[in-house]
Amino acid sequence: MDTRVKGVLISGPRIDILSRPKPRFIFFTDAVVLSARLKGVVKSMRRSPWNRVPIVLSVSVILATAGSVFAHHGWSGYDSSKVLELKGTIVESGYEHPHGFVHLKSSEKIWLVVLAPPSRMERRQLPKKNLASGTEATVVGYPSRTDPREMRAERITINGQTTELR
């Protein structure tokens, strides 16, 4: 069944523009016929399971990246009015995104020290091997407002070499 609407031939799910001159405007009744025909095309497209693939992929990508977005926190969680200087031994370290870290055993307790991203530490000559367990380090930074065992490092000194992290 073919339907002709002002120079447009609608047959099945395909719409072909005829070589006739295009009208300057479409009358209301023509728009209703065209709209009804297109609804049928859209409805038949909804039935195919392949139409859901882009949506499923998009949702998967969003969910996969959501964790890293929430893991990368702002710095407002640290009290910049209180400067801490800790000396101790590195117990454990991580050289991973979004931020590297060390567990520093001071005389008081073991601190989680949040460092800069690995790419910045590399550019500032602080490679992963310098953060090995058993290494003595001095860290200057700010304490966490919520976790009494965590701090954000501004600079770290290892083997006499001071690295600015911010």
Tens digits of residue pLDDT in 105-162: 998 899 999 999 999 999 999 999 999 999 999 999 999 999 999 999 999 999 999 9
Find the Cα–Cα–Cα–Cα dihedral 87, 89, 93, 99, rounded to 10°.
0
What pLDDT was estimated at residue 101?
Answer: 95
Number of independent structural domains in the chain: 2
Predicted structure pTM score: 0.56
Note whether 67 and 112 are same-domain residues: no
Note whether 27 and 41 are same-domain residues: yes
Of the candidates 71, 96, 121, which is a domain's last residue?
71
Of the candidates 56, 71, 86, which is a domain's last residue?
71
Note whether 139 and 95 are same-domain residues: yes
Q: What is the mean pLDDT of the chain?
A: 78
Note whether 62 and 79 are same-domain residues: no
Note whether 103 and 27 are same-domain residues: no
Note whether 13 and 40 are same-domain residues: yes
Note whether 59 and 114 are same-domain residues: no
Note whether 104 and 40 are same-domain residues: no
What pLDDT was estimated at residue 108?
Answer: 82
Of the candidates 19, 51, 71, which is a domain's last residue?
71
What pLDDT was estimated at residue 11?
Answer: 53
3-state SS record for the chain: CEEEECCEEEECCEEEECCCCCCCCCCHHHHHHHHHHHHHHHHHHHCCHHHHHHHHHHHHHHHHHHHHHHHCCCHHHECCCCCEEEEEEEEEEECCCCCCEEEEECCCCEEEEECCCHHHHHHCCCCHHHHCCCCEEEEEEEEECCCCCEEEEEEEEECCEEEECC
Note whether 100 and 121 are same-domain residues: yes
Q: What percent of the chain stands above pLDDT 90?
A: 48
Kindly report whether the peptide bond that precedes residue 23 is cis, defined as omega within 30 degrees of 0. no
More confident site: 98 or 62: 98
In terms of residue numbers, what domain contains 86? 75-164
Note whether 125 and 143 are same-domain residues: yes
Note whether 100 and 65 are same-domain residues: no
What pLDDT was estimated at residue 96?
Answer: 87
CATH code: domain of residue 80: 2.40.50.1010
Note whether 87 and 154 are same-domain residues: yes
